[in-house]
Amino acid sequence: MTQILIGNKAITPPVLLAPLAGITDLPFRNLVSRFGAGLVVSEMVASQEMIEKRPSAQARAELGFHAANTSVQIAGKDAYWMSECAKLCAGNGAQIIDINMGCPAKKVTNGYSGSALMKDLDHAVSLIEAVIAAVDVPVTLKTRLGWNDDLLNAPELAARAEQAGVQMITIHGRTRCQFYKGSADWAAISGVKQAVSVPVVANGDIVDVATARRAMELSGADGVMVGRGAQGRPWMPALIAAEMFGADAPDIPQGRDFIDFISEHYEAMLTFYGPELGNRVARKHLGWYMDVLPTPADLRKQIYTETDNARVLQLLQLLPMGFRQDEAA
């Protein structure tokens, strides 16, 4: 089976779960890991907030400290806060630190973090160097093709990041100014692959086996990172790994087993967040599961609006037991 080496850590198979704000929390990452993803990445952490607020036990659990196949992603604009955050994460057991220089959200880029750093590569590299100097664990980088079509500088950033000591680079095949519009340009990722010798992972619009295969062909990347393709289908990274890299095929729950699986995920979120917040946060996941199943509109509405946890579990038992025919499962 193909693998990616991040320093001395083997990522097998080379199919990763992308960090998604408000989605890739601990309960969801646990599910994706259980099916067989090679690496899962925590939700992005703002470095200064992380240090100033001194994370609670729940926050530490949420980040996946000590988890063997979890990378903790940090973001920021200041070398001091970035290095302190990296040290805190590594000191609590994080085995890989990922630096975010790809988030396109205005609240992030307006603070000169995320993909805004692609407009100032000297500053971006100074942050990378500070993080690498602060920790003994491998450091990776996630970014985009560039700020806009006039500033496609991902190959230059990648080469300088490798020189600074970054040990894997993930590229989302869009510019910041594209946000998530249009299509990911997987072929453009090949420029980054040619610029570095460390592993390169392709990201963006990889939602199933066919798109993963095409992304690998066009980019020449060493692996793929799946984001929204895992929503409602947490087995998708493992399915891609089985089809493309010879990993064990995931045991995809069917029929009544799938409904029980959805209920278990819901209960895990209630345990993690508490009954009230857990019910609200779970709705988006339940919605994606209902997208996979041919769920009647009236049942969908009841599940979305019900506030009693026990009643939600009862309603979940009414879900149809077969996947939609257009679903890749």
- Cis amide leading into 13 (omega within 30): yes
Q: Is residue 89 annotated as a catalytic residue, yes or no? A: no
DSSP state of 111: T
Q: Which of 291, 293, 234 is nearest to 265 (CA)?
A: 234
Would you say 24 and 18 are in contact if contact means Cβ atoms under 8 Å apart? yes
Dist. CA 126–CA 121, nearest whole Å = 8
Dist. CA 166–CA 161, nearest whole Å = 5
The phi and psi torsions of 6 (rounded to 5 degrees) equal: -110, 95
Among 85, 89, 103, 177, the one annotated catalytic: 103
Q: Which of 11, 28, 23, 31 is nearest to 251 (CA)?
A: 31
Phi and psi based region of residue 187 (left: phi greater than 0; alpha: psi -120 to 50; beta: remaining):
alpha
- As a whole number of Å, the CA-based R_g of the chain is 20
Whose structure tokens read 């790809």?
102
Q: Which of 60, 152, 44 is nearest to 101 (CA)?
A: 44
Q: Please, what is the angle between helix 297-305 and helix 309-316, to 10°? A: 160
Whose structure tokens read 């009643």?
311
Dist. CA 148–CA 176, nearest whole Å = 6
Dist. CA 240–CA 186, nearest whole Å = 17
Dist. CA 10–CA 207, nearest whole Å = 24
Would you say 151 and 177 are in contact if contact means Cβ atoms under 8 Å apart? no
Catalytic residues: 103
